Amino acid sequence: MHAALHLTYKVARRIAIGVTGGTILLLGVVMLVTPGPALLVIPIGLAILGLEFAWARLWLKRIRRRISAGFANNRGRDAERYRSKADATDE
């Protein structure tokens, strides 16, 4: 009896997380073509799904890497602009 109750809880938890995370992820995807903060909502949906599903954790990890790389590239470009402006004022 106890094992069946525990199994039922695990299945119900997995379904609840799947429905909640999937709904939020779907809303984020819809926001890609409609007004809304899609780039904020999609990672939240993946984080919720990542509580139960390995594929969601993998996607979230990939998104984090791309965002970090994008910020690093922007910082590098900003530094280059700053250096070129500083060099132009020194001449």
Write phi, then psi, for 28 (nearest 5 degrees). Answer: -65, -40
Q: What percent of the chain has pLDDT over 90?
A: 54
For 66-91, the pLDDT digits (tens) are 888 877 777 767 667 766 766 666 65
Spell out the domain ranges in the chain.
2-90
pTM of the model: 0.71
Q: 2-31 and 38-49 helices cross at what angle (nearest 10)?
A: 170
Let me know how long the chain is.
Answer: 91
